[in-house]
Amino acid sequence: MIKEIKLPDLGEGIDSAEVSEIKVSKGDSIKSDDTIIVLESDKASMEIPSDYSGVVSKVYVKSGDNISPNDHIIDIVHASNWVHQSNNDPSFLDIPSSLKDALENWVTNFEKIKKLDEVLSGYDVLSASVDEYQVATLETKVKLLSPVPTPQSFRDFYAFEQHVRSARKLRGLDMHPDWFKIPIFYFSNPVALYGHKAEIPYPTGTNELDFELEFAIIIANGGSNISVNNAKNFIAGYTICNDWSARDLQREEMAMNLGPAKGKDFATSFGPYMVTPDELENDWDENGKLHLRMTCHVNDKLVSDGNTNDLYHSFNKMIERASMNTELLPGDYLGSGTVGTGCILELRPENTGGWIKKGDVVKMEVERLGILENKIV
């Protein structure tokens, strides 16, 4: 469990101060009351202590920064420190505090995470604590962000044939023969991501809000010009994706042969977790197809029902295409595109009860990957 340490109130009349010295670095073991930074203001010089014992996982400030009360300073990895204290085992102290950081050296960090999980499985972790702070907490008591809240990029592909045929037919178009040759994608907005149970603001300028039922992979390690035969080594895990779409805005843009842009970039949901490939080993068939049922309910009514095995272009091919002449980075998302029947555009609003409205609850479920639910507000 990560504990954030924030700058306390500095006293009457002091709104901010300059960081003159940083006393800790990432990976340092510290005790409660150890000095972590020194501040200078026009009224005083102050040593700021840590409220907790633990291991520094990240430092958010640098010398010369001007900071104010409640700004981030550092966070602490309690679980690793607890194992260190309880078992005299320091081997987990260098596990990164975020998934994105862990993905930079995923093979090593994933092995450590699995071993840490094995160690913790022998204890009642809900009762374990470090300096009165719990090692673990119930999922119902936390807010789930997208698995990687701040990726460098999100590429969304167009890889389910049924959806592509239906969408093109609505525009009076036949299937393009080149679609079968290469997996194609567009870039969406990596800073407009939402997690499970997050409320999604209804976007301005649209009367045709739609969901898109997809699943996605998260990139491990990173690399460029990755071959299809080596691509599986760059898949850290799988997650559910809802590619929210404003169809009227999208239609305006694509009429000029560019986009989608504003029709897509206001929100994408990912979650609830990242499920690693080893958890899905028994869900593949002899032809290399992953078999997971995909459903979407709107206000508890089943609207979409598809399966991952209908994916025409594999994620391995998508990785090869996406990494050609450029760098995929740890934590990048690659979306599958919409499964057949996976949106109102394809099903038609007159058959589904209309476009998504304020107050609607959209719940997506993919076998083995969990449930991703959001409310439009």
Residue 95 scores a pLDDT above 80: yes
Across the chain, what does the average pLDDT equal? 88
pLDDT in tens, 184-242: 999 999 999 999 999 999 999 999 999 999 999 999 999 999 999 999 999 999 999 99
């907790």: which residue's tokens?
A: 52
Cα distance between residue 134 and residue 79, in whole Å? 8
Q: Are 216 and 241 in contact (CB under 8 A)?
A: yes
- Calculate the CA 134 to chain-centre distance: 24
Q: Are 78 and 130 in contact (CB under 8 A)?
A: yes
What pLDDT is stored for residue 40 in this prediction? 81
What pLDDT is stored for residue 72 in this prediction? 41
Q: How many domains does the chain have?
A: 2
Q: Are 376 and 357 in contact (CB under 8 A)?
A: yes
Cα distance between residue 212 and residue 296, in whole Å? 9
Q: What are phi and psi of 105, to 5 degrees?
A: -135, 65
pLDDT in tens, 278-310: 999 999 999 899 999 999 999 999 999 999 999
Q: Are 109 and 98 in contact (CB under 8 A)?
A: no
The arithmetic mean of pLDDT across residues 238-267, rounded, is: 92
Q: What is the CATH number of the domain that holds 40?
A: 2.40.50.100
For residue 89, what are the domain limits? 2-141
| Domain boundary residue, one of 109, 141, 173 | 141
Q: Do residue 65 and residue 172 come from a single domain? A: no
Q: Do residue 199 and residue 347 come from a single domain? A: yes
Pairwise pLDDT comparison (134 vs 112), residue with the higher score: 112
């038609």: which residue's tokens?
A: 348
Q: Are 292 and 284 in contact (CB under 8 A)?
A: no
CA angle, 316 then 274 then 86, to 5°? 130
Q: What is the CATH number of the domain that holds 303?
A: 3.90.850.10
Q: Are 321 and 232 in contact (CB under 8 A)?
A: no
Q: Choose the weakest-confidence range: 73-87, 197-211, 351-365.
A: 73-87
Which parts of 92-218 fold into alpha helices (H)? 99-102, 106-120, 161-170
Q: Do residue 266 and residue 185 come from a single domain? A: yes
- Residue from 250, 251, 248, 241 nearest 338 by CA: 241
Q: Do residue 131 and residue 239 come from a single domain? A: no
Q: Which residues contact 332 (CB under 8 A, 6 or more apart)?
A: 151, 152, 153, 154, 155, 218, 219, 222
Q: How confident is the model at residue 73 (pLDDT cuts 50, 70, 90)?
A: very low
Residue 264 lies in a domain: yes
What pLDDT is stored for residue 75 in this prediction? 37
pLDDT in tens, 141-187: 788 899 999 999 999 999 999 888 888 888 888 889 999 999 999 99
- Residue from 228, 224, 222, 209 nearest 104 by CA: 222
| pTM attached to this predicted model | 0.79
Residue 208 lies in a domain: yes
